[in-house]
Amino acid sequence: MKNFAFVRARSVKEAVLSLGTDWNEAAVMGGGTDLIGEMKNYVHTPNKVVNLRAVPDLKYIKQDGNLIKIGALTSIAAVETDTLIKSNFAALSKAASLVASPQLRNMGTIAGNICQRPRCWYYRDSGIECLRKGGRLCYAMVGENKYHAVLGGLGCYIVHPSDTAVSFTAFDAKIKIAHPDGEKEVNIEEFFVLPEDDLNRENILKPNEIVTEISVPIPENGTKSTFIKVQERGVWDFAVAGVAVSLKLDGNRCDKARIVLGAAAPIPWRSLDAEKELEGRTINEETAQRAADASVYNNMPMTGNAYKVQLFKNIVKRAILELV
């Protein structure tokens, strides 16, 4: 591992002021479960690491009016087990419960989970300079791509690796971001970016910005949600395909739907076409199938991942029918 300076920030202000304007200058660390791996493997070699763990008041899950607010340093395990989350956001607590292993869920923070870097094997190989790392080629396009994107992957075909980000998107979460001049809040759908907008990064964060909080509106009465994840191994594995579905129901009639695919695209992929197939309709085998088919409209499989298209249709249908 390359030598680096270590800053133990005592406040959010100190953290953002310690970061630089260049990604190689400094990296922010939550639990370090992703960052340290990248540094050990020379995938990312910042000169400085700014550790957030000593910053007070960034670890909480609390209700504020109709919002549930989650501090950036809250562990994934706490999100999994918290009763406020379980009772309001079943799809989020289920997604958190399926992240990695108990050790990683205890160590990993919720902000680190949504900000983790891609798992594309070419990206994770320090000897390969692919497009995302400033090189000239996407090696997945012509190489091994069985886990890569079937939607939204123009230029780079990573899938976003975070399970919790998929559920947060289904609940219209907002992300609070601190920067040297103050803070701002954005909708989660504005937070993640496609390769066509930024080929090198997965979200809008600048090198000297950090996530401080994720807030989620409490769903309207009658809302039910679920999360399904397909893994190659039974546990401790990233998703091959995932889906979070949240439905506001009146009996079996769907008033509002959110359907978000995970491991389908470089961002958590909200499928508006699938949602339209459900809203205003009674949920049954037929409508669930139509939504499932619509969930992958415009898919563009690569040489080795066409199997994922049918997989998504299956889990979308299963998730919808689970809720009625």
Ligand X SMILES: Cc1cc2nc3c(=O)[nH]c(=O)nc-3n(C[C@H](O)[C@H](O)[C@H](O)COP(=O)(O)OP(=O)(O)OC[C@H]3O[C@@H](n4cnc5c(N)ncnc54)[C@H](O)[C@@H]3O)c2cc1C
Binding site for ligand SF4 (CB under 6 A): 118, 120, 122-123, 130-132, 138-140, 148, 156-158
In whole angstroms, give the CA distance from residue 77 to residue 254: 32
In whole angstroms, give the CA distance from residue 232 to residue 236: 10
State yes or no: residue 33 binds ligand X (CB under 6 A): yes
CB of residue 303 vs ligand X: minimum separation in angstroms? Answer: 25
In whole angstroms, give the CA distance from residue 239 to residue 8: 33
First CA to last CA across the chain, in angstroms? 52
Q: What are phi and psi of 232, to 5 degrees?
A: -70, -40
In whole angstroms, give the CA distance from residue 113 to residue 98: 12
Query: Which partner in ligand SF4, ligand X, none is near 28 (CB below 5 to 8 A by kind)?
Result: ligand X
Q: Are strands 5-8 and 48-51 parallel, antiparallel or unpaired?
A: parallel
CB of residue 286 vs ligand X: minimum separation in angstroms? Answer: 33
CB of residue 150 vs ligand SF4: minimum separation in angstroms? Answer: 12
Give whichever of 96 and 259 is closer to ligand X, judged by the CB atom. Answer: 96
State yes or no: residue 268 binds ligand X (CB under 6 A): no
- Taking CB under 6 A as the binding criterion, the range among 63-71, 121-129, 167-175, 235-243 that sits at the site for ligand X is 235-243
Per-residue mark of binding to ligand X, 144-183 (x: CB under 6 A): -----------------xxx--------------------
Query: Which partner in ligand SF4, ligand X, none is near 312 (CB below 5 to 8 A by kind)?
Result: none
CB of residue 250 vs ligand X: minimum separation in angstroms? Answer: 33
CB of residue 45 vs ligand SF4: minimum separation in angstroms? Answer: 17
Q: Which pair of structure tokens corresponds to residue 42?
A: 């020379």
Distances (CA, A) of 47 to 4, 37, 42: 5, 15, 12
Among 115, 138, 188, 241, binds ligand X (CB under 6 A): 115
Among 88, 93, 97, 113, binds ligand X (CB under 6 A): 113
Q: What residue ranges in 122-265 does DSSP mark as E strands?
A: 174-179, 182-187, 210-217, 223-230, 241-250, 253-262
